[in-house]
Structure 1
Amino acid sequence: MAPDGPPVRQTARVTVLLWIAALSLLVWLWLAGCHGLFWRTDVRLPPHRPPARWPQVAVVVPARDEAEVLPVSLPSLLAQKYPGRARVVLVDDHSSDGTGALARSLAAPGGLELTVATPPPLPPGWTGKLWAVRHGVELAGPDAEYLLLTDADIAHGPDSLADLVAAAEGGRLDLVSQMARLRVETGWERLIVPAFVYFFAQLYPFRWSNRPGARTAAAAGGCSLVRREALERAGGVAAIRGAVIDDVSLARAVKAAGGRTWLGLAEQVDSVRPYPRLAQLWRMVSRSAYAQLRHSPVLLLGTVLGLALVYLVPPVATVAGLVAGARPVAAAGAAAWALMAGTFVPMLRYYGRPPAAALLLPFTASLYLLMTVDSAVQHWRGRGAAWKGRTY
């Protein structure tokens, strides 16, 4: 008699799915225990004492069409309680919404000195943000021992600058960066934002980045205090002039030049930029995702397959195993899904979200997968890394 075809094929499919689910589980076991404990949220500003002497600091804020957020962010910088000498340099990058005039109107008596300037026209080979930062660094003058590079949408607690400088001085750090806490007020923000920070930490485990001599190096562009001497040793802003992901590029340059870097989560540094709609969050991610992959189709394919294996296989294997009555498949998928969710819970708590929301991470990861593919498509169409009227 001929063998029964369909049951044999079904058994083969179950076997293949079991192997894939088991591989996903093994990857999650490695990620949870051996990947720099990326999922933990306890990497905060190192303990520090006030230095014997407070060095001079210049806060450099590149701003292009930021009139919507400046009334919240800029006063928080001007109100810094810094024991030493500090000033704020806001570089109005040829805005069309009155950013420069609004910034001047926000200067208040008793606050830090504010300088508002406009850089020369953007030269070839530079991104607009880094050209503005370079102009701000020049205006800061040679007496500024530290430069706080912060975005126009970042609000700082009153002791933020003092804490950053004290941590840098006490730890002899050349770059101290904090990942600002992003807004999570709308439904899409609550779904996308915690995962954004979680994925960034998975890509650049903070503990590895903070280890001297380690190859991993990263920073958060919204809040990076850099020692001027270390920046100059790394080649200045010009060394990363064309970088779309400028924060990571800065950390790599400083570390490659022998500097010590530190990156962690913030406690009094917050982004005030709203992302109420999915389309806005989509653009935030997709404009730089393919640049992160060095515009490589091979890396893109590997990333898509990796995201599918790590984030999509566990729920698929769980459901398929239950439907087919294949308990080993369902068990492997459920175990991987549980590990995934468990590593996401600390980030959800950091953002004040309920732990049960961790079960939605596969869905969020699927959105990020599509954003990454869209980033590559936009690049191939000549519209990659578009931001505020400029395409790089």
Structure 2
Amino acid sequence: MSFDVLTLKGAIALGLLIIQTPAALILLSRLSKGPSRHPPIEPQQPTPEMLGAVSVVVPTLNEAERINPCLAGLSEQGGDVREIIIVDSNSQDGTRDVVKAAQENDPRIRLMTDDPLPVGWVGRPWALHNGFLASSEQSKWVLGIDADTQPRAGLVAGLLNVAEAEGYDLVSLSPKFILKYPGEWWLQPALLLTLVYRFGATGDTTQTSERVMANGQCFLCRRSVLQQLGGYSSASSSFCDDVTLARNAAAAGFKVGFLDGAKVIKVRMYEGAAETWKEWGRSLDLKDASNPGQLWGDLWLLLSVQGLPIPASVLLCSWLLMGSWIAPVVIAAGLNLFLLTIRVALLLAIAQSYDFSKPVSQEPKVKSQEFPFYLCLLAFCLSPLADPLAFLRICLSTFSTPTQWRGRSYAQIQS
């Protein structure tokens, strides 16, 4: 083999080491906090002190096919929930009829319609803002819940217990994800891990305000804190309003937590890989809550530890098999194989965040689309192969701003 070819291979391997080594050290530092993270939230029975402490706000827009499990789960909560306010944005699919039917069984459910969306607001924070303003001032806490979630009985009491005992002013939960089709079992874990790589394990309470994470699917905040923040107005134009609001609260000195809620809440976010790619990918970059330096730093980290390891391992190991045993190639190959080992370990670690029970559908047309579960499990195991695509999705989202979201146009808030 010519000297020039060896030199080129060595230069490429050295370049990979320069790019990837610092990122790998940062990743190890973040993952090292995993064993000391906050334990998962457990369902509990409400205590007398919790009576009427929480107003629940659920924003809806055409959620008729998904909201029933959410309403049923909220109705199973105890006396700690004072009211359940459904803020509907003029749904046209029967959502309002579903809510009205649920009202007959639970008088705490209240249906309201938010005002027309003002310029500069995104629909979700606008609905939550209206729900907050309409909620009872006697409630100490306000809990935002998405319509696609499935709360378990004891969720609110368990969340309140931790928030009060540990002095949180704002705390949100990561859910257990419900997936159905092989495509989403393959893609979604790779997208989820972009968050783990950037922010560490759920339950890490050592984050600075700029690195705080949150999840609006289950988002509990003290009423007094929301009042000081002006409700949701500080996140009015954000497509990741949950993270934006949480970081604003942390920057103002309030204690913010992002904890594991897999034991108390499930969520069925999107139907299939295509919708997961399109809808979830639009907000995963978190650019509305981050400065340019953070965005570029996150892209470098994801490229180094998630986007590159598979193609780099294939390339470098092929060179080794061809006899190119030079130090930079050997070291770079070892680093990328090590990163792949971490990726497999993380796949096992996040398995608890997924509902592996076979979904039971009530619709014949959905039953006909069900896949054998072993295909879904195989797709989950092969999800590391989707890592380069996950990095690409974050890049595409970072350098573009949504113009459509949940059937609404947002051309008016383009930057």
User: Could you tell me how far apart the structure 2 residues matched to 1:39 and 1:260 are?
Assistant: 20
Match of 1:320 in 2: 315
Q: 1:366 aligns with which of 388, 393, 403?
A: 388
Match for residue 255 of structure 1 among 242, 250, 261: 250
Output the CA distance in 2 between the equivalents of 1:385 and 1:21: 38
1:254 counterpart letter in structure 2: A
Do the aligned partners of 1:18 and 1:332 also contact (CA within 8 Å) in 2? no
- 2:235 equivalent to 1:240: yes
Deviation at 1:25, TM superposition (A): 5.9
Question: Contact (CA 8 Å) 2:23, 2:304: kept in 1 or not?
Answer: no
CA distance in structure 2 between the partners assigned to 1:74 and 1:165 by the alignment: 19
Output one character per residue of 1:200-234: Cα deviation in whole Å (capped at 9) or x when no partner: 23323357862386543221010011110111122
**2:228, 2:343 → 1: CA distance?**
41
Q: Which amino acid aligns with 2:55?
A: A
The corresponding residue for 1:264 is 259
Closer/same/farther in 2, CA of residues 258 and 306 from structure 1, 3 Å limit: closer
- Per-residue displacement from partner, 1:302-340 (whole Å, max 9, x unpaired)? 655543332243223332233223351533432232233
Cα distance change, pair 204–85 in 1 and its aligned pair in 2 (3 A): same
Which letter does structure 1 place at the counterpart of 2:409? Answer: R
Q: 2:283 is matched with which residue?
A: 288
Could you say which residue in structure 1 is the equivalent of 2:222? 227
Question: Are residues 1:387 and 2:383 paired?
Answer: no
- Give the match for residue 101 of structure 1: 97
Provide the secondary structure at the position in 1 that maps to 2:142: strand
Residues 125-172 of structure 1, C-alpha deviation per residue, up to 9 Å, x if partnerless? 111111111111122121111111011111100110111111111112
Question: In structure 2, do the counterparts of structure 1 residues 279 and 39 end up closer, same or farther at CA, with 3 Å as the change threshold?
Answer: farther
Cα distance in 2, alignment partners of residues 95 and 233 from structure 1: 31
1:114 alignment partner in structure 2: 109
Within 2, Cα distance between the matches of 1:213 and 1:289? 19
1:147 equivalent in structure 2: 142
The 3-state SS of whatever aligns with 1:279 is: helix
Provide closer, same or farther for how the CA distance between residues 85 and 39 of structure 1 changes in structure 2, counting only shifts above 3 A.
closer
1:69-108 deviation digits (Å, cap 9, x = unpaired): 012221111221x243521000011212121122111224
Q: In structure 1, what is the Cα distance between the partners aligned to 2:337 and 2:285?
A: 31
Counterpart for residue 30 of structure 2: 35
Equivalenced residue count is 380
Structure 1: distance between partners of 2:71 and 2:214: 22
Q: Which moved more, 1:64-73 or 1:30-39?
A: 30-39
Residue 86 of structure 2 aligns to which amino acid in structure 1? L
1:79 aligned onto 2:101:
no
Q: 1:184 aligns with which of 179, 184, 188?
A: 179
Q: Secondary structure at the match of 1:95?
A: coil
AA partner of residue 232 (structure 1): Q
Q: Distance in 1 between matches of 2:292 and 2:253?
A: 32
**Counterpart of 1:375?**
397
Q: Does the aligned pair in 2 maintain the 1:127–1:241 contact within 8 Å? A: yes
Change (3 A) 1:31 1:78: same
Return closer, same or farther for 1:151/1:36 CA change in 2, 3 Å cut-off: same
Match of 1:3 in 2: none
CA–CA distance in structure 2, aligned partners of residues 290 and 49 of structure 1? 37
Aligned position for 1:11: 6
Structure 2 unaligned residues grouped into runs of 5+: 357-375
> 1:191-230 alignment to 2 at 5 Å?
191-206=186-201, 210-211=205-206, 215-230=210-225
Contact 1:209 1:217 in 2 (8 A): no
- Which residue of structure 2 aligns with residue 162 of structure 1? 157
Conservation of the 8 A alpha-carbon contact between 2:170 and 2:256: yes
Distance 1:8 1:349, change over 3 A: farther
Structure 2 CA distance for aligned equivalents of residues 192 and 105 of structure 1: 36
2:259 partner SS? strand
Name structure 1 gaps, 5 residues minimum.
Answer: 1-5
Q: Which amino acid aligns with 1:335?
A: F
CA contact 2:189–2:383 (8 Å) conserved in 1: no
Return the alpha-carbon distance in structure 1 between the equivalents of residues 289 and 246 of structure 2.
Answer: 17
Q: Is 2:139–2:223's contact at 8 Å kept on the other side of the alignment?
A: yes
CA contact (8 A) 2:203 2:260 kept: no
Say what the alpha-carbon RMSD is for the aligned residues.
Answer: 3.2
